[in-house]
Structure 1
């Protein structure tokens, strides 16, 4: 497929999601390296054991701002079409503290010599804790006085993930259940609506040493503003990457990554806020570590 044709298809995909709306769960700037947290269909797709740790400190200097840590691993089961994985997410926002535990399983079918389609299922839950003595509120009278301690909320989700060596496309719903969730906008506990995630990415060979990796994610939910992230990274000699990202009506970001060894990758992102919060914080920092265990040396390179 010619380069120009791929570019047209990629941006047509972005335009096609202009009419939908969304809101945010825990969010990541380096979503392209943390895909299983968004889509269980990604589970086992790398063909070997992959372990990822990510820490995100959002809106530094703003009291009660989101603070998120993620640990995940996934692997195929032998030479079968089945992949398994686990996500553990620790998320703090204002008076709330939520811990997610999600098991993921995928089944992959081959659609062509290079194309694969994976069906993913997620089953798990999270614990919700609320301490209303923490934080400062716009309307203190509206805040519930009753704390919440270790309330367990189950979750079940699913995803589709189609990929070839140089591009991917995914659609997922991480949780179909309408469970309780802290909403920082209304400063209360509300029923969470289903979130839809659409992801896409492609790798272009600019020359023998340089690759361009644009990617996008839309986070969609009925009745709320669209959350859209678009990024572009340059990869030099398959070792060093630098890039820029833009989150609609929220922030612009710089990204940096380096493949230290064949098994260890480190990434860093800095978000500069462009929303109404920009005068009250000094930005967002995100650090990612990924270990690829037993990675075959002769395998064709994968960049997502």
Structure 2
């Protein structure tokens, strides 16, 4: 019996695995966040240092609440421009849980930015690190525990991580980025239990535009497209409004998956909090009560008296 195990969005896999059916499952693996635009370095290393300050970011996502074994993800990143002009460094840590599996990802990001014109800059990024995968089959309700595939857990299965990215932006008006946070395809095969854990490359395209309606109101439409072999193309479209450089509210649509409400509050020139709620529009929505994103960003910005002027991206 052969089982291919993917660690994200695999509720179908867990059901089939639990009853011991021989099945081949293909699907998306990378963590999925509605507020991805506030933790960009996790998907594009070229963004490291682009905000021009030392920036700490954290995101927590609880997906498909109420569904047993549903995904939970925690992401933390820090990035900053350093020393030589145009150089940025970052560190990203991601921890995912779904069903009987946990995966930890630790990567270091490097970026270099060149000026194409007075207001246009192009950044190139490199990401490198490691993944550790654990699967505890004892957490499954197995019909036939004697199946050899369940006889041995997967413990700290190591795989390397190498990613690339490019990020182009014009002043604070628009941006576009293309990246693959892990270009390596890795198969973890174990003869003793006849099982495989597979990781495949994901490719991301992001873009956004800032429209200043007036001094108090800015509008930002944005898109994210994700492609991975063996899964349908994923597409997110969002529209956010920034009021008085403090309060953000918006909506997001994920193709054939969910509709989301987003909100954020710039408490001061250093601290920002955010939240998003996803309403599942797929058939799986009949079995869960939605998904939640929580976001926090802290930055060491230069203080300007009586002024808060955060970047919208």
Among 149, 152, 160, the alignment partner of 1:146 is 152
- Spell out the pairing of 1:246-265 with structure 2 (5 A cutoff): 246-265=253-272
- The CA RMSD measured in Å over matched residues stands at 2.3
Q: Contact 1:24/1:219 (CA < 8 Å) preserved in 2?
A: no
Match among 93, 113, 118 for residue 118 of structure 2: 113
**Alpha-carbon displacement from aligned partner over 1:107-148 (angstroms, at most 9, x marks no partner):** 000011111100000000111101012245799869643211
Q: Among residues 249, 254, 274, which one is paired with 1:242 in the alignment? A: 249
* Aligned position for 2:205: 198
Structure 1 pair 111–300 and aligned structure 2 pair: CA distance change class (3 A): farther
CA distance in 2, matches of 1:295, 1:193: 41
Matched, 1:31 2:39: no
Residue 85 of structure 2 is aligned to residue 80 of structure 1: yes
Quick one: distance in 1 between partners of 2:131 and 2:82? 26
Change (3 A) 1:139 1:23: farther
Matches within 5 A, 1:210-225: 210-225=217-232
CA positional deviation for 1:206: 1.4
Q: Is there any run of 5+ residues in structure 1 with no aligned partner, and where? A: 1-21, 182-187
Structure 2 residue 271 is the aligned partner of structure 1 residue 267: no
Say whether the 8 Å CA contact 1:23–1:219 is kept in structure 2: no
**Secondary structure, in 3 states, of the residue corresponding to 1:87?**
strand
Following superposition, the deviation at residue 222 of structure 1 comes to 2.6
1:10 corresponds in structure 2 to: none
Please state how far the C-alpha of 1:226 moved relative to its aligned partner. Answer: 0.9
TM-score, reference length from structure 1: 0.86
> In the alignment, is the contact (CA less than 8 A) between 1:63 and 1:135 conserved in 2?
no
Instruction: Report the Cα offset of residue 38 of structure 1.
Output: 0.6
Tell me how many residue pairs correspond in the alignment.
278
Q: Note closer, same or farther for the CA distance 1:299–1:289 as it changes in structure 2 (3 Å cut).
A: closer
CA distance in 2: counterparts of 1:125 and 1:73, whole angstroms: 17
- Which of the two has higher C-alpha Rg? 2
Change (3 A) 1:176 1:254: same
- Is contact 1:176–1:194 with CA below 8 Å preserved after alignment? yes
Q: Which residue of 2 aligns with 1:59?
A: 64
Residues 247, 266 of structure 2: 8 Å contact kept: yes
Which residue is 2:130 aligned to?
Answer: 125
Shift in alpha-carbon separation, 1:122–1:179, aligned structure 2, 3 A = same
Match of 2:105 in 1: 100
The equivalent residue for 2:216 is 209
Contact 1:200 1:216 in 2 (8 A): yes
